Amino acid sequence: MANFATNYMGLSLKNPIVAGSSGLTNSVKQIQQLEEAGVGAVVLKSLFEEQISIDTNSVMNTGNEQNTYPEAEDYIQNYTRMNSISKYLELVKEAKKAVDIPVIASVNCVNASDWSNFAKEIEAAGADALELNIYELPVDRNVSADSYDKKYYDIVRMVKRKVKIPIAVKIGSNFSNPVRVVDQIHANGASSVVLFNKFYTPDFDLEKLEFTSADVMSTPLDIYPGLRWTGIIKGKLPKAQIAASTGIHDGDGVIKQLLAGAQVTQICSTLYLNGFDVVKGMLTELESFMKKWSFENIEDFRGRMSYRNIDSPAIYERSQFMKYYSNKK
Ligand SMILES: Cc1cc2nc3c(=O)[nH]c(=O)nc-3n(C[C@H](O)[C@H](O)[C@H](O)COP(=O)(O)O)c2cc1C
């Protein structure tokens, strides 16, 4: 029997498949079902920074009053107002009582502001770790990419000062230099990064000439940006821990991300689309793969195909991509 045991941010997981943050991780019942289905850990639905500020009546004093994360607005209007932060802490406590797998809380944030005191309460409620889902759309022509990046580091430093539990930072893929950003996120105290979040994306309804939302679910084809950057970043920053996210729908997706160097894989859309039993199938595929290659532990092959461990790392880079298209008839 293959050994799937995985250490993620110092936490012991029975396997590297983590249920990512979503509506499926917002109730104790579903968290129990996810544990029964076989996941190694669970990331709770995010609580939004704005919600914490509203509920604690501590208005953010950052000079940036505007909400820059569209999904947050939607979330606040339709759902979050009904759910107080005390309910969130209750969810952490109850989930911890109900399951043996690690429970990772999640906060969506855009600022290093007062909300970070709440991180202490999350820790006190028993969360094993905290995932910070940070996103600010960079649309200000007067603000440099460095200044946008610095906000991420400020948030991590601020939260790190408040809690002892490990912190993961979930980011999008739109950075000028993802390697440096991940390096700096770790240097400022995070134990892991989650590559990458998939954000709410506007679409146009051509019949009504109105805005609509693009499909929130990923497809297996969405794995590639994350696969490339996991491979590159693990090669360049061997000590960085990476939780791969987006487009992992089956065992092959899990195996590929582990080969690229991911510490764990997070799944979400496939749970919605294929049901929780998909986890069993993924574990079976992982087991067959390890048997076929005579790997006893995940460490026997983790990162084997990362940028550092292959003969031609250029394969990860753009030039190879152009060559492919120029040769294509
Ligand atoms: C319905 C839905 C709700 C989500 N809610 C959150 C959330 O609250 N916090 C968060 O960090 N990510 C959230 N996500 C993003 C997922 O955790 C995940 O990063 C993304 O869906 C990509 O992974 P996938 O390809 O496996 O779906 C949500 C995704 C979906 C589809």
Structure confidence at residue 199 as a pLDDT band (50, 70, 90): confident
CB distance 226 to ligand 1 below 6 Å: no
Q: Please indicate, yes or no, if residue 218 is contained in any of the structural domains.
A: yes
Q: Are strands 103-109 and 47-48 parallel, antiparallel or unpaired?
A: parallel
What's the pLDDT score for residue 81?
45
Phi/psi of residue 24, nearest 5 degrees: -80, -10
Q: Is the pLDDT of residue 270 over 90?
A: yes
Q: Is the pLDDT of residue 222 over 90?
A: yes
- CATH assignment at residue 93: 3.20.20.70
User: Which residues 6+ apart lie within 8 Å of 320 measured at CB?
Assistant: 314
The confidence band for 66, taking pLDDT boundaries of 50, 70 and 90, is: very low
Compute φ and ψ for 239, nearest 5 degrees: -85, -10
Average pLDDT over residues 297-306: 96
Looking at residue 325, what is its pLDDT?
Answer: 65
Residue 151 above 70 pLDDT?
Answer: yes
Our answer on whether the CB atom of 20 is closer than 6 Å to any ligand 1 atom is yes
Ligand 1 in contact with 80 (CB < 6 A)? no
| Residue 236 pLDDT exceeds 80 | yes
- Asked if the structure places residue 11 within a domain, the reply is yes
Reported as a pLDDT band with limits 50, 70 and 90, residue 235 is very high
Ligand 1 in contact with 247 (CB < 6 A)? yes
Q: Is residue 1 situated within a structural domain?
A: no
> Where residue 192 falls among pLDDT bands split at 50, 70, 90?
very high
- 3-class state of residue 215 by DSSP: coil
Question: Positive or negative CA dihedral for 235, 236, 237, 241?
Answer: negative
> What confidence category does residue 84 fall into, taking pLDDT thresholds of 50, 70 and 90?
low
Q: Whose CA is nearest to atom 17 of ligand 1?
A: 21
**Domain count for the chain:** 1
Cite the beta strand spans of the chain per DSSP E: 6-8, 11-13, 17-19, 41-43, 47-48, 103-109, 129-134, 167-171, 192-195, 202-205, 210-213, 242-245, 264-267
> In which domain, by residue range, is 187 found?
6-327
The residues, any chain, with a CB within 8 Å of residue 248's CB and separated by 6 or more, are 223, 254, 257, 265, 266, 267, 270
- The separation between CA 200 and the C-alpha centre of its own chain, rounded to angstroms, equals 15
% residues pLDDT > 70 (the chain): 86
Residue 315 lies in a domain: yes
In ligand 1, the atom with minimum distance to the C-alpha of 133 is 11
